[in-house]
Chains A and B, each alone.
Chain A
């Protein structure tokens, strides 16, 4: 098998202009019981702070990954960015345009065309009653990107080839394809409007590993060819390590650490980042000692006071319980941790087998 040890030329980690900027972005969900039940059972309103205020800049041409466990809000961020949910507070800027600004249909459509999304579940993300051709043609028709039916056909055939399917596959229905092939169709649809920015919500977590590698390779290839910018959501750190330029770690709706991929994996700072890294299975069989991982993610309805991670953190003290840590810049990245800020805790150097 080829491709081992090739030098990596990821897109530049700095210097690129920000394409997407999220500022103090918040999204709350009301999960209260119905009004009558609240009154009768004297239950309070229940609000989930799925995204509790995050700031991210995604630079042109990079892959910015968000990682975290389920319920940390990473998928909500993805849906906020593409406009599937309106934000509760904060702003989303795309290439200098405030997404919340009022604008006409045509202008809005012009911005929407430039960002698309790839979903997690290849079995739910394609309309089961449509032929693959129509699924991929839909954005082309919606954004009026082709002037004739022959042009639509050419474009769809071309897209199918780009994702390593054949034009003949266009006349089939989604159920005739395997999970990996469906994800290729999903990617073709996302590329149909010639976007610059793709939001990828766990695009490989429903796939088998050998297929996952195909899809990741395809995504990296397409990024190089089209100069795409990715926001990549995943819980799989090994996948994130391979595909990302920069990584943000989320815990209970907040970013706890942002850094270049290598910095994050080789010199993790936040205790939660370290804990996540410890959960990556040791496939190189180096016998690397893994620190025991304690506790579970608390409910986002009643997040812990102060630093939300303090109940599981081996380094927590009274201040961590009381006071929410501010985000401080460190080694080109950002981290929100009192122990790091106070110098109680140093960045940890980590090596991995095969390096």
Chain B
């Protein structure tokens, strides 16, 4: 059910590299990441904190905070390169062609203006509408994202909304100009579980109806499993695995993805012990040579400590793991088990 998988991709990210210069050397936070999103598709990007998933999203929408910078690669939206555009051009693309949703709805809304004013302002920036038409569109958008009493609520201020309602307003704001792509960074993390489910359902419905593609950045595998068509798993700034959501969740190929999935408590079987991955993700200052996951990997061989694997076909998905290379992982490693 991947829509338009044989169409030209809406967004293509090629060999993206994001660096942070520090005085103790340059940190590579996103390293050689490539993927594409088709029109109408929901691509989930998961990873643990520090995996570089949020920075990938920020790089695509041109909102990397200095000193972070794109140090290599390309971001192509509908055939046009957008990673090297001047700020003003990028600002017009943001909103018009790419919408953004962030974790904390409060930071996306100006507390001093009514939400109607903020919506109208955004609509008029990107669409040639009169004030009255823009206001009508704002009210329609609020109705669409399920805000009861939109006609009166449109004149309320952000603090008069609950967290869940605020996130709905932010979604309305992102949809103002009918963008082709929405980059949503942890859109449900700050919300209660019952509200999370509502927001996920809303996002899914809207994207289906508008044919909007979504890049959904989150640490929550549950959100991904419910929402995404495909999943990209990130680890230490690199892509570990990418593939259809069902295959990544149920039959992951990369040992990291398998461990990650196993460590999520599920309601299926109750066990004495949850599957765990020993150790922790390396700090960016100390990424191991070869495969970044090798010190924690139960299947690592000598090749994994020396050579970095690229994404390669691994069953239905593609994984950056030597297990799926014709020459394998090389001789076994002799070592003690790492501990966190």
Contacts and interface: CB of A to CB of B under 8 A. Distances in A.
Nearest to A5: B269
A50 to B, nearest CB: 16
B58 to A, nearest CB: 20
Contacts of B193: 69, 235, 237, 276, 279
Contacts of A211: 48, 280, 340
A8 B270 contact: yes
Contacts of A220: 272-273
Interface in B257-272: 258-272
A354 B266 contact: yes
A214 B250 CA distance: 21
B246 A285 contact: yes
Given A69-B194, A178-B340, A279-B194, A355 B222 contact: no
Interface stretch (B90-98, B116-124, B196-204): B196-204
A8 B258 contact: no
Given A70-B192, A214-B276, A164 B339 contact: yes
A235 B189 CA distance: 13
A210 B259 CA distance: 7
B260 A210 contact: yes
Interface string A193-228: 000000000000000111111101100100000000
Interface in A1-32: 1-6, 8-9
Interface of B: prevailing SS: loop
Contact of B340 (A164, A280, A282): A164
Given A235-B192, A293-B194, A3 B271 contact: yes
Given A69-B193, A276-B193, A296-B195, A282 B225 contact: yes
A296 B164 contact: yes
Contacts of A281: 220-223, 225-226
Contacts of A180: 280, 340
A278 interface: yes
Interface string B295-315: 000100000000000000000
Contacts of A296: 162, 164-165, 192, 194-195
Interface in B294-340: 298, 339-340
A290 B193 CA distance: 13
A8 B272 contact: yes
Interface size of A as a range: 35 or more
Contacts of B276: 210, 213-214, 217
A181 B272 contact: no
Contacts of A242: 265, 270-271, 274
B60 interface: no
B340 A283 contact: no
A241 B270 contact: yes
Interface in A153-202: 164-165, 178-181, 184
Which 5 A-B pairs have CB atoms at the shortest separation, nearest pair first? A281-B222, A354-B268, A213-B263, A208-B48, A213-B276
25 contacts: A3-B271, A69-B194, A164-B339, A184-B340, A208-B281, A209-B221, A209-B260, A210-B277, A213-B265, A213-B276, A214-B278, A235-B192, A238-B264, A238-B267, A242-B265, A265-B267, A279-B197, A283-B221, A284-B268, A290-B197, A296-B165, A352-B267, A353-B268, A354-B268, A355-B269
Given A6-B271, A210-B259, A296-B192, 9 more contacts: A69-B193, A180-B340, A209-B48, A216-B265, A217-B274, A242-B274, A278-B197, A281-B221, A296-B194
Interface of B: 48-49, 162, 164-165, 192-198, 201, 219-223, 225-226, 246, 249-250, 258-278, 280-281, 298, 339-340
